[in-house]
Amino acid sequence: MSKLNTYEDAVAAYEPVLGLETHIELDTRTKMFCGCSTTFGGEPNTQVCPVCLALPGALPVANRAAIEATIKIGLALNCSIAEWTRFARKNYFYPDMPKNFQTTQYEEPLCEEGYVDVTVDGKPYRVEIERVHLEEDTGKTLHVGGATGRIHGATESLVDYNRAGIPLVEIVTKPVPGTGALAPEVARAYVTELRDIVRSLGVSDVRMEQGSMRCDVNLSLNKPGAEWGTRTETKNVNSLRSVERAVRHEVRRQSALLDEGIKIIQETRHFQEGTGETSPGRSKEEATDYRYFPEPDLAVMEPSREWVEELRASLPEPPRQRRERLQAEWSLADKEMQSVVNADAVELIESTIAAGAASSSAVKWWLGELSRRANEAGEELGALQITPAQVAELQGMVDDGRLNDKLARQVIDGVLVGEGSPAEVAQKRGLEVVSDTGALEAAVDEAIAANPAVADKIRGGAHAAAGVLIGAVMKATKGQADAGSVRQIILDKLAG
Amino acid sequence: MSDRIIDQTAAELSAGIREGRYTSVEVTTAFLDRIDAIDGTVKAFLHVDREGALATAAEVDADIAAGKETFALAGVPIAIKDVVVTKGMPTTAASKILEGWIPPYDATIVERIKTARMPILGKTNMDEFAMGSSTEYSAYGKTLNPWDTGRIPGGSGGGSAAAVAAKMAPLAIGTDTGGSIRQPGAVTGTFGAKPTYGSNSRYGLIAFSSSLDTPGPVARNALDAALLHEAISGHDPRDSTAIDAPVPPVVAAARAGATGDLSGVKLGVVKEFKEGSDAAEPGVIAAYEAAVEQLVKLGAEIVEVSCPSFAYALPTYYLIAPSEASSNLARYDGVRYGLRAGDDGKHSLEEVMSLTREAGFGPEVKRRIILGTYALSAGYVDAFYGKAQKVRTLIKQDFEQAFESVDAIISPTTPFVAFKFGERTGDPYQMYLADLYTIPSNLYGGPGVSVPVGLSEGMPVGLQVMGPVMGDDITYRVAAAFESTQDTLLADTAPEIEGK
């Protein structure tokens, strides 16, 4: 294993320059150049046709919905949209690429020259976008018989072409200097923001764990004031956390080499999820000559300015702007808002408020009890079987005094297992607060009788001791009493 | 003339079937029998589908007997060049690499032929992947020229041309990338048309050079070709390079031409072709000039036009076409279909791909893949592929400028009559010269037809008529007008072939 510097030593001596290339699978109904379905997880080779299998004679036809989605992404990233653009062929042999060339874009991308603004540690950073272009995905190869699923030692290689031809948007940043020690966080913030922007457009589910969003991290180091160094390109970075870790590792690894006077070679590296390290792949010296040339099977695209303006007008509020607006509306501190964003709860809270809950209650439920349930279940918050409307209903019942916190949590149990709406669960499970004063008074009398010493203390003015009696009453009523009311009854009965 | 079914033109057969003079089954059987009798000698077909052809013929006969409406060429059989994909029927592009491949789908033009209910006789021989001018590069043996079995039938579509010339099919489909319909037409005394690029769908055409490939008709005269042209032409949403515009009225134009009136028609002759005429055989030039005289008699006016960039057409073509081919042919790797070599557990995937391509491709295909790969390589792409694209633009401009002053441009179709087998395989450049006059219109995208106009050394000579983009009708009109000056079609005077 190569030597590593500590991160602190590394960034004290060198300045990192970042670059990020992100691939996003569009969730168009059909593939980029044919009518095959793009549904994830189908039986191998069931979503294929002569075009995406590259049978002799088959020809591509570009998917308009994919072009539209790419233009939307470009506009949302503040890019200019080409008036004249075309596809190109990138030629190289690989068994999961049916044509042995990838139809992509080369010198004339659909979108160019944009930017994404992010904030890290209260400081703003502008990540400039070089290009956004449209291309097609490859199939997937499965190596059978080898120890690790790798080609080495495999007895058979199986190829699934279901993914071949799914539209892929590649978003390439310009080099990002000036992030200093915050390079890992800026990289993560950029990828997060990009994900949120694309998600807000509704053109991809941008799930890194499913591979519908994939990231390559470019990084170089230079001494302050010196020219930029040679970069490496780390592939296989498949979570937001990994983006951060990959940058951190490359900073540590490259700085150690540079300290020893060793030149960084321009190469592709692979991120290892297990160790958080990068390992060498193909070096650019032995890289393929892709022999790009304009794709003669596809017509040139000339997106009309009317169309582009129509799409621009249809863009949703940018996520960053929306977050700032909601934070103000919900009166949240920066940290709280950050928690909401991290929990992916913005939409959920917004919908809960729309369904009638106060913002503080909506935030409390989603970040508190429901986040805890999601963690326990190992699920995402949005995957819980409870709707924002149900959360609002639950809070309404609390506000009306029909549920206390404990009962409300029991109601949630029922909702999550599909017993119905909060009202239905409360009714079925008999989870209403006991508001029958006679019954409560009887329970209080019993508690006083059973705890004479405590009762004396309270009579003596030690009101805090009421907790013991409240607990006993709650136990007797199986928690279905409102603690506030019980306390009042106790104090009234034991008042001087 | 003759009463034999196989001597009839497609138009005559169509009328005969419709009017009940004979059935489609009789017609189809006649051609199938002819194939049985003489194709052992000519070797125009790689695959014959007697059963399928007769089934279609029987359907047409039933429809006609029931008084149902049928398409113009219903019941008239056709042969299809083996580069066009046919569902359930072997399609090899005359390459070993596709031996045994049975396509699961039909090319658009095959769908249209099936819609028109034309019985498909089979698939015809060609140069492998349509690369060649003699059909000598077929992986399945050469096709002989019915006019002289010691000579080539042209290429790449030598099989389709020979099938029509030897009356084994009244009509055939060809494809033309640099002259592969027109040059075989010229050297076999048949009529061949390369339509405007994009006016006939390429979907299901095994790609050689995507920006040049054009499917088109092979026939015995202009009218037959025009009938087939209209049957297969028209916009196809599955081909992004297809032109979405009405099909030029080529049938009407062929009929108009047949009246023999060309008054007011201006025909351009390319100054640079004339100056470079040392490449053309004297006999070819003589036959061509005699044809021009006939056209003048019909009222055409001859105008000299200058197309200076035509001098670079051949090298331009031999950079663009191989570049595209090197990429188009990358899919033949043994992974998904066709030949797979070296898959014995001892070779890596990369080696299997390499061994497959080594074993599966013939010498001319390899030559062009290497040429194209080189022309697109880093460091060379600007000087070769890039420069060629610029010259292509200049050639288009030459055409556009010429068509400002003329209605069509005429030339010999090919500089020489059918040569003897083996005469040009040793020197690729000598082979490439066969397409000297046909390549410019491929680079431009406009239509061109070759019509037989006479003989030189007893072998047929063709006149090429080139038109502006989507001006296919004028090319048919001029060609049909020439035909009207002849007592008999040249195609009818071919020597009788002896069966084996």
Indicate yes or no: CB of A291 within 8 angstroms of CB of B377: yes
Whether residue A287 lies within 8 A of chain B, CB to CB, comes out as: no
CA distance B394 to B408: 19
Residue B491 within any structural domain of the chain: no
Give φ, ψ of B186 to 5 degrees.
-60, -45
Question: Given an 8 Å threshold on Cβ–Cβ distance, is B327 in contact with A60?
Answer: no
Residue A100 near chain B (CB below 8 Å): yes
pLDDT at A151: 61
Q: Judge: A289–B377 Cβ closer than 8 Å, yes or no.
A: yes
Q: Where are the domains of chain A?
A: 7-310, 317-420, 437-494
Instruction: Name the residue with higher pLDDT: B341 or B70.
Output: B341
Confidence check: pLDDT of A470 > 70: yes
The arithmetic mean of pLDDT across residues A399-407, rounded, is 84
CA distance B166 to chain A (A): 29
Asked whether the predicted pLDDT for residue B62 surpasses 60, the reply is yes
In a domain, B473, yes or no: no
Contacts of A58 in chain B (CB under 8 A): 105, 203-204
- Say whether pLDDT at A145 is over 80: no
Rounded to a whole number of angstroms, the distance from the CA of A151 to the nearest CA of chain B is 10
What ipTM does this complex have?
A: 0.95
A interface test, pick of B92, B336, B361, B381 with most A CB neighbours within 10 Å: B336
B325-349 pLDDT, tens digit per residue, is: 999 999 999 999 999 999 988 888 8
Q: Is residue B475 part of a domain?
A: no
- pLDDT over 80 at A432, yes or no: no
- pLDDT computed for residue A488 by the predictor: 84
SS3 A23: strand
Bridge partners (DSSP) listed for residue B123:
B47, B80
Does the pLDDT of residue A18 top 90, yes or no? yes
Give pLDDT tens digits for B202-212: 999 999 999 99
Q: Does the pLDDT at position A439 exceed 50? A: yes
In a domain, residue B189? The reply is yes
Q: Answer whether A378 touches B (CB < 8 Å).
A: no
Whether B424 is in a domain gets the answer no
Q: How far is B296 from B387, CA to CA, in rounded Å?
A: 39
Which residue of B104, B331, B350 is in closest CB contact with A98?
B331
Mean pLDDT of B220-247: 96
Min Cα–Cα distance to chain B from A158, Å? 10
pLDDT at residue B277 above 80? no
Q: Taking 70 as the threshold, does the pLDDT of residue B278 lie above it?
A: no
User: Nearest-CA neighbor of B407 among B294, B299, B260?
Assistant: B299
CATH topology of domain A437-494: Arc Repressor Mutant, subunit A (1.10.10)
Whether B453 is in a domain gets the answer: no
B448-466 average pLDDT score: 97
End-to-end CA distance of chain B: 26
B174 occurs within a structural domain: yes
CA distances from B270 to A401, B230, B277, B305, B318 (A): 97, 29, 11, 5, 21
Q: What is the pLDDT of residue A285?
A: 52
Catalytic center residues of B: 81, 156, 180
* Distance in Å, alpha carbon of B240 to nearest chain A alpha carbon: 5
| Residue B500 pLDDT greater than 70, yes or no | no
CATH number, domain of B76, equals 3.90.1300.10
Give the model's confidence band at B1: pLDDT under 50 very low, under 70 low, under 90 confident, else very high.
very low
Could you tell me the pLDDT band of residue B131, with boundaries at 50, 70 and 90? very high
Task: Please indicate, yes or no, if residue B94 is contained in any of the structural domains.
Answer: yes
Q: Check CB contact under 8 Å for A297 and B207.
A: yes
> What is the predicted pLDDT for the residue at A496?
60
> Is the separation of the CB atoms in B491 and B223 below 8 Å?
no
Inform me whether the pLDDT recorded for B82 exceeds 50: yes
Dist. CA A381–CA A375, nearest whole Å: 8
Tell me if chain B has a CB within 8 Å of the CB of A297. Answer: yes
Q: Is A65 on the interface with B (CB under 8 A)?
A: no
- What is the three-class DSSP state of A72? helix
Predicted pLDDT at A343? 82
What pLDDT does B129 receive? 98
Of the partner residues A59, A93, A159, the one whose CB lies closest to the CB of residue B240? A59
Q: Which domain holds residue B197?
A: 5-259
- What sign does the CA torsion over B273, B277, B283, B285 have? positive
Identify all chain A residues contacting B203, using CB atoms and an 8 Å cutoff.
57-59
Counting the structural domains of chain B, the total is 1
Mean pLDDT confidence for B385-412? 98
The mean pLDDT value for B437-447 works out to 98
> If residue A444 lies in a helix (H) or strand (E), which one and from where to where?
helix A437-450
How much is the pLDDT for A475? 84
Nearest C-alpha in B relative to A63:
B240
Please tell me the distance in Å from B206's CA to the nearest CA on chain A: 4
pLDDT in the model for residue A336: 87
